Structure 1
Amino acid sequence: MGKLSGSVLLWIFLLVTAILIAFPVIVTFLGSFMSNMEITKGGTIIPSSWHIENYKEAWVQANFARFTWNSLFLSGMTTIGTLIVASMAAYVVNRMKFPGKALFVGIQASTMFISIGAVVIRPQFELMVKLHLNTSLWGVVLILVSGHAYIFFILLSFLQGISRELDEAARIDGCSSGGIFWRIILPLMRPGLGVGALFTFCGAWNEYLRPLVFTMTNPKLQTLTVGLSYLRYGASAAVQTHYMLAGACLSILPLLVVYMVANKSFMQMTAGSLKG
């Protein structure tokens, strides 16, 4: 009886949590089909009439085609760069001994718990000016790749489950450390890389402040999160909430696609941790 009551309470808790998480998304989706007047008036979340043209107007007004490409470029390059850097760093820390190893891991860990947010924007921008990357999305990519500590620890924990006997067998066959990493370790890390790609892509896709700062002088390079702000006001300075909600729904679609692609890797990694 006690076990049954515990299961019921658990399911109730999970159901309430799911509702609280899904409710804002549902309201946003339904609101994207309303007229601006109906949203402003409030009182209902179900559209009285479905305005599908909101999506067309949002796509045209916010120049979604260009901004979506910019966001895909920023997120894709950041994901690739982060996975390469974090996986190599995790491999070296896990498999090799070198002076300052504990200090390096400590510094990586400290960057996860110390958040100074916008305070670092100015020194980062000045650094990119010296590198002549202050008017390019490559500067933002470089900054985002450097913040790879979270992915580093995910891959480091995953590497601990890969037997070192594989390394020794490969060395006997004459394989170098680099060859072991690229030919043996990296393919076995595929589930961990999938999870890391999911988190990195979502984080880069939702980045707002840095793309805004680095593209002020070149609006054509602005990302989707920055471009959505153009939907806030229309030609008559009236707030266009319905277009903003439609634009927000459009911006979510790539994240859903990435999640569906990486979901298998996420489940494999979760199952592996449970078995361990």
Structure 2
Amino acid sequence: MITSTKSGGFSGSRIIGHSIKWIFLIAIAFFTIFPIIMAMLGSVKTNAELTTGATLLPSVWKFSNYATAWKQANFAQFTWNSLFISIIVTIGTLLVATMSAYAVDRTKFPGKRLYVSLQASTMFISIGAVVLMPQFNLMVKLGLNKSLWGVIIILISSHAVIYFMLIGFFKAIPRDLDEAAYIDGCNFFTVYWRIILPLLRPALGVTALFTFRGAWNEYILPLVFTMTNPKLQTLTVGLANLRYGIGAAAEAHLMMAGACLSFLPILVVYVLANKSFIQVTAGSVKG
């Protein structure tokens, strides 16, 4: 009788624990998805209907807002500019971060602790307001202040977070693989390129997602570097131009439509990186 009472108590507390967990997860999912649903519904409303907020669903579904936003914001050009920056920054950041993490984890060199400390210190410096003026002056001296390459170089240089994410994965790779490769005639770079990087594919997928998302959502740097050349503006800067239309009237419905269009590349990247997330999670649970 005592055993059944205890087991019943355990099962009851377990049910309560699972219920609280599911309530918490559902609440998080609701607060995460609700703004996206509201943006999608607002993107097919009229400006007056969206501004008053009288109804949740639009009285007339105006899908023409997407076509208007595409034309007014020059989405084709701005989307290409954003993709160009995001793809180059992602590739460059992964190369720089993986090479630096590989060198720090696998070798000993003078100033190693100082290098790691400098990497850690850059994580606490804003890439925007604090260092924007020195960065812009540097790009002026390099002649890159009127091109997207200035933005790309600055974003690649802020790779400290990705570096520390990757260094943990490097430490999980046994050094015996390096020694076996050296015996087979590989050099330091060959081990990195042929042995280490293939083993890091799940980690590279996850870090690539974070890097691409950060570069895609960047606003301050593209805004400053493209003020004199509007054709080089990115999608985030172009969306801000939808704020006011004819007669300086706020056109929130077009901004909503443009924001929904800008979701699509990020969703595609999330779908492509989903397998990497699953592999990283499965590996961590198995370990």
- Where 1:135 maps in the other structure, the secondary structure is coil
For the pair shown, the structure with the greater C-alpha radius of gyration is: 2
Per-residue deviation, residues 116-170 of structure 1 (Å, max 9, x unmatched): 7312111000000111100010000000000001111111111111111110000
The one of 227, 235, 241 aligned to 1:216: 227
The one of 241, 257, 270 aligned to 2:252: 241
Amino acid corresponding to residue 92 of structure 2 in structure 1:
G
Amino acid corresponding to residue 72 of structure 1 in structure 2:
L
Give matches, 1:1-276, under 5 Å: 1-115=12-126, 117-276=128-287
Q: Which runs of 5+ in 1 are unaligned?
A: none
Report if the CA contact (8 A) 2:45-2:62 is conserved.
Answer: yes
- Where 2:153 maps in the other structure, the secondary structure is helix
Q: Give the Cα–Cα distance (whole angstroms) in 1 for the partners of residues 279 and 263 of structure 2.
A: 24
- Name the TM-score, length of structure 1 as normaliser: 0.98
Per-residue deviation, residues 160-191 of structure 1 (Å, max 9, x unmatched): 11111110000001100000000110111111
- Where 1:253 maps in the other structure, the secondary structure is helix
- Where 1:74 maps in the other structure, the secondary structure is helix
- Name the TM-score, length of structure 2 as normaliser: 0.94
Report if the CA contact (8 A) 2:148-2:225 is conserved.
Answer: yes
Amino acid corresponding to residue 176 of structure 1 in structure 2:
N
State the 1:272 CA deviation.
Answer: 1.2
Runs of 4+, deviation exceeding 2 Å: 113-117
- Where 2:167 maps in the other structure, the secondary structure is helix
Q: Give the Cα–Cα distance (whole angstroms) in 1 for the partners of residues 64 and 200 of structure 2.
A: 45
Per-residue deviation, residues 183-222 of structure 1 (Å, max 9, x unmatched): 1101111111101100000000000000000011111000
Q: Give the Cα–Cα distance (whole angstroms) in 2 for the partners of residues 275 and 106 of structure 1.
A: 32
Q: Give the Cα–Cα distance (whole angstroms) in 2 for the partners of residues 114 and 203 of structure 1.
A: 16
Q: Give the Cα–Cα distance (whole angstroms) in 1 for the partners of residues 64 and 233 of structure 2.
A: 24
| Two-structure CA RMSD over aligned residues (Å) | 1.0
- Where 1:14 maps in the other structure, the secondary structure is helix
Identity of aligned residues (%): 64
State the 1:113 CA deviation.
Answer: 3.0
Q: Give the Cα–Cα distance (whole angstroms) in 1 for the partners of residues 162 and 190 of structure 2.
A: 22
State the 1:73 CA deviation.
Answer: 0.3
